[in-house]
Each structure stands twice: as C-alpha cells, then as structure tokens.
Amino acid sequence: MRHTLACAALLLCPTVALAVGGDQPHVGEPALSYGDRPAYLVDKLPEGALKTKLQSCEGQAPKRSLFSIGHRGAPLLYPEHTVESNIAAARMGAGILECDVTFTKDHELVCRHAQNDLHTTTNILTSDLSETCTVPFSPASDSTPATAECRTSELTLQQFRTLKPKMDSADKTATTAEDYQGGVAPWRTTLYTDGARSMTHAESIALFRDLGAKFTPELKSPVVEMPHDGFTQADYAQKMIDEYKVAGVPAEDVWAQSFNLEDVLYWIENEPEFGKQAVFLDASYRVKGFDHTDPATFLHDFAALKAKGVNYIAPPLWMLLSVEGGKMVPSAWAKAAKEADLKIITWTLERSGPLANGGGWYFQSVKDLTNNDAMYLQVLDALAQDVGVDGVFSDWPATVTYYANCMGL
C-alpha cells in the first residue's frame, strides 16, 4: 500500500511515495527549499555586515549541507522522530538526520527522544495500551499537576507500531487523559500531525539514505535497570551499530552519539571505524558548580578525552559562548575544547520559540543580548565563525542550511 505525502510547511512539494504499515519507508531524494523563515530572520537583523552578506544570498539555489543537522527531524512544526518530520528536514537541506535510539520490551530499536516519553509524544494515554504505563494518568488538582509516564520498554514493537505520534506536549492542568494531549507551545502547531508515522531505527536508516542524508543516531540512556532481561548496555550499543552494518552504511557516514562516555569508549574500542566519529554529548551543565567560563569547574580533561580516541564533543550552544564588552565571544569551555583538537557539534537552534524574552535555557549565556529572533542568526554566526563548530542541530534546519550555503560552509 502506497501513499503520497502532503506538502511540508513552507517547502517545495515533490511527489514522494512511502511504504506504510510497518514496511521500511522508501522515498526519493527531495527537491530543496529554504521556505520563508530564513529571509524572515535576515530581515530582523540590524544593519551591518552580517545582514548584508545574508541578504546577498537570497536568490541562491539551496544545497544540502553537513553543517545543518536535523534535530529529531524538524520538530518546530512536525511531530519529532516521524517520517514526515525527517522528510521536511531533508527538504530544508539538512545533510545529517537524527534518530534518538531506545528499545522496546522485546529489545527492538526505535526512534524516540526518551524511553519514557510516550505519554507526551503519542496517543498512548487515550489508547488501549494506557494500562501498560508505569505511571497511569493522574488528573490535576488544585495543588498538583497532572502526571503520567509511559515507556517503550513496556511495549513490544508490534504494540509500539499501533501508537499515533503527536507533537511533544502535555497539558499539566488537564483533568482527563484526552485534555492531557494538549499543551502544545503557542509557537508550534498541530497542523502536520495527521497520519504522522513513527519509525524503527532500521527504518530511519533506510529513509535517511533515500533522502540523501547521513546519520547521527543517539543511544539514549535507558530508564530501566540494565541488563534488561539479559540485554546489556554493551548489547544495546553494539546493536545500534550493527543495524548500520547490516544496511551497508559506511562508517564515515555515521556520527553515533551518547551522553554516556562509556558508550563512546565502547565504540572506539570495539567498532573503531565508527568510533572515529563517535560524539560525546557533554552534560557538564547538570553538575552543580559547573561554570563554562571557569576552567577550574570543567568536568572533563579535554586532552585526556582526545588521547582516549574521542574526536567529537557536543555541548548545548550556550556553553560555547560568553559576553564580553557587550559582544559574543567563544567561552573558556569552547577555547579549551578547540585547543585539545576536539571537533565541536552543538545543539539546538530554533528550539526556543520567539526570542524577545531572552531565549530561555538555550540562550542563557547571551540572554542580555537577546531581545528578538535575529539572535538566531547572530548566535549561529558566532558559533560558526568565532567558535568554529563543525555542525549545528536545529529544530528548523532551513535556517542553518541557508546560513551554511551563504557562508560556503
């Protein structure tokens, strides 16, 4: 059974056929379009060299760029980790696409941002599978928000396939499971959720390859105790790599990620070709006392990481920037990582919504300079030109693609 996808928001609409019903998706490489958003952001820039340069590229033909990484696809407007979200990201020229990898009860690998996010990213609470949730839906009261927790590890792959993806959201004021499905941020939308399809990790490999993109899977930390029914962490890390090998994907096309340094070191030792591009996601910000401007608080010896074979490190974008004299500059953390010859990938642009309020968590180190959406491009320029990052994850990859094409990255 074959279907034709509807046009993606603000993008060109080539005919794309996709197999459904659990078969691996097969599509053609799409035509590329920036859509309206990059020009909208350029218009907001203050007069100056950056605006002049980016305006000069408005008529350029889009090209796919490895600098532009689709973060869970294009979840600014599309349900994350769906076929549709990733096709939209590919149409925006993202050269690398992401499947966050977790596992089901029968240890099949699927694309989900977390093992325990089904209550916010699918319709599980309003389905017959709600009884599998580890924390059943509890309605809000005057003193407590509504709660629920549902895990892929409680479902077989066959059960997982019956769920319908939705925008990642929850209405914490809800008194019914149906109302809990709401809570979508006002700068996102539900326009593109109808018929959205989730993927296994193996299906994501087939889809991304057909779209002309490369791969950056993230091995997500399990919320269940490991080993899980005999499935060890090493089994988990190995199975993710094995699915690329079975598909015939060359190691140089894969940037495997993990917040767990032991996973990265496992790949370096046991799958050295894949290990060369393994990405260590730095979560130093979670540790009390960490300060990205103070080397005395850094959790990692960058030279030691490099000596162990780690070549790529990926912090959130705010860790790479500081403000000095009213201008953005590379942070002490960024300088130390570069001095150790580590390549830097960062996350996540276009995840903060409108920036009139300082930009929230992702812009915390430059909040005093952040008062409108032009800051998306100004931060991107500082990351590319001053810090020298190798790639940027984005929830709307067209912005990064436009910038990368214009700057010749």
Rounded alpha-carbon distances, angstroms, from residue 35 to 32, 93, 196, 203, 325: 9, 11, 21, 27, 36
* pLDDT for 130 beyond 80: yes
Cα separation, 229 vs 128, in Å, equals 25
Instruction: Determine the structural domain holding residue 168 and report its residue range.
Output: 113-180
- φ, ψ of residue 257 in degrees (nearest 5): -120, 155
Is the per-residue pLDDT at 5 higher than 80?
Answer: no
Least confident residue range of 8-17, 110-119, 211-220, 335-344: 8-17
- 218 and 123 inside one domain: no
Rounded Cα distance, 279 and 96, in Å: 14
Residue type, 357: N
pTM, entire model: 0.94
Specify the number of domains making up the chain: 2
Residues 355 and 278 in one domain: yes
Final residue of a structural domain among 147, 180, 213 = 180
Does residue 365 surpass a pLDDT of 90?
yes
In a domain, 108, yes or no: no
Q: Count the Cβ atoms, other than its own, within 10 Å of residue 89.
A: 33
Which residue type sits at 350?
A: E
Per-residue pLDDT tens digits for 47-101: 999 999 999 999 999 999 999 999 999 999 999 999 999 999 999 999 999 999 9
Round the average pLDDT of the chain to a whole number and report it.
94
User: Do residue 145 and residue 245 come from a single domain?
Assistant: no
Contact (Cβ atoms closer than 8 angstroms) between residue 396 and residue 28: no
Asked if 39 and 135 sit in the same domain, the reply is: no
The pLDDT, as a whole number, for residue 324 is 97
Instruction: Give CA torsion, residues 86, 284, 281, 226, to 10 deg.
Output: -100
* pLDDT value of residue 26: 55
Q: Are residues 15 and 127 in the same domain?
A: no
Is position 190 within any domain?
Answer: no
394 and 350 inside one domain:
yes
Asked if residues 55 and 384 have their Cβ atoms less than 8 Å apart, the reply is no
Identify whether 309 is part of a domain: yes
Give yes or no for residue 377 having a pLDDT over 70: yes
**Which amino acid is present at 275?**
G
Indicate if 51 and 148 belong to the same structural domain. no
Residue 12 has pLDDT above 60, yes or no: no
DSSP 307: H
**In the block, residue with structure tokens 């003193």:** 143
CATH number at residue 401: 3.20.20.190
Identify whether the C-beta of residue 246 lies closer than 8 Å to the C-beta of residue 135.
no
pLDDT tens per residue across span 165-200: 999 999 999 999 999 999 999 999 999 999 999 999
For residues 2 and 103, what is the distance between their CA atoms, to the nearest angstrom? 27
What pLDDT was estimated at residue 7? Answer: 38
**Same domain membership, residue 340 and residue 230:** yes
Asked if residue 289 has pLDDT above 90, the reply is yes
Where does a domain end: 180, 208, 231? 180
pLDDT the model gives residue 10: 37
**Which amino acid, 79?**
P
Same domain, 148 and 244: no
The reported pLDDT for the residue numbered 28 is 82
For 214, half-sphere exposure in the C-beta direction (CA atoms, 13 angstrom radius) is 18
Specify whether 173 is located in the same domain as 314: no
